[in-house]
Amino acid sequence: MARFRGVLLVLLTTFVSFGAGASSEIVIPNGTSIHFKILRTISTATAQPGQTVPAELTAPIVVGGRTVASAGSPAVVRIRNAESSGRIGGSAKLTLTLASVTLANGSTVAVHTSSYSREGRAHAKHNATYIAGAGVIGALAGQALGHDRNATAKGAAIGAGVGIGAAAATGKFDFTTQAGHRFSLTLRSPIRATF
């Protein structure tokens, strides 16, 4: 009987050890929302496509009641598109995606997510205000000085040129996305990990 208990104890210990050491695969399905914040400010004046920005999860990723990645876990954002604002035309643009996440098991996995995009202010209204305003002032000055149609036209042309210069001097509309800004993107393909 004692021998039977000894064999049973060895089998039980082996079974428990084997069960504790067994790993299982977890799949984070596509469509899962990932909530995170960036840890460094991004400016369209300096950002470049392909550049990465550190981030961290703001909510855990939970699958089947199991926390696969904790809030506060490191993540990396990749800038897909960044365009700075032109002086006369061309709005600033920024597109980013989540590139990787560190899971609860310590592994860092690449992820494919939806994108966040933002476009800056348009130049049309700003430029039109400067150019038209300066053109009108130039026309009035030409009329006052020359007292004829040609002087008015020349004054308007000179004024519009000054307006274009003023619009160019004041026309950069880059924007920043501040550190701490929160995002929620969706997985486009599942993540498989062993725990």
Tell me: the pLDDT tens digits for 132-177? Answer: 555 556 555 655 666 677 766 666 666 556 555 554 555 557 889 9
Mean pLDDT of 11-31: 67
The percent of residues in the chain predicted with pLDDT above 70, rounded, is 60
Q: Which helix (H) or strand (E) is 66 found in, with range?
A: strand 66-69
Residue type at 91 in one-letter notation: S
- The whole-number pLDDT of residue 3 equals 60
- The whole-number pLDDT of residue 84 equals 84
- Nearest in space to 71 (alpha carbons), one of 83, 55, 50: 55
Are 139 and 150 in contact, with CB atoms under 8 Å apart?
A: no
Cα–Cα distance between 65 and 61 in angstroms, integer? 10
**pLDDT of 77 above 90:** yes
Cα–Cα distance between 129 and 132 in angstroms, integer? 6
- The whole-number pLDDT of residue 60 equals 98
- The whole-number pLDDT of residue 182 equals 98
- The whole-number pLDDT of residue 15 equals 47
Burial class of residue 109 (count of CB atoms within 10 Å of its CB; 0-12, 13-18, 19+): middle
Q: What's the predicted TM-score (pTM) here?
A: 0.65
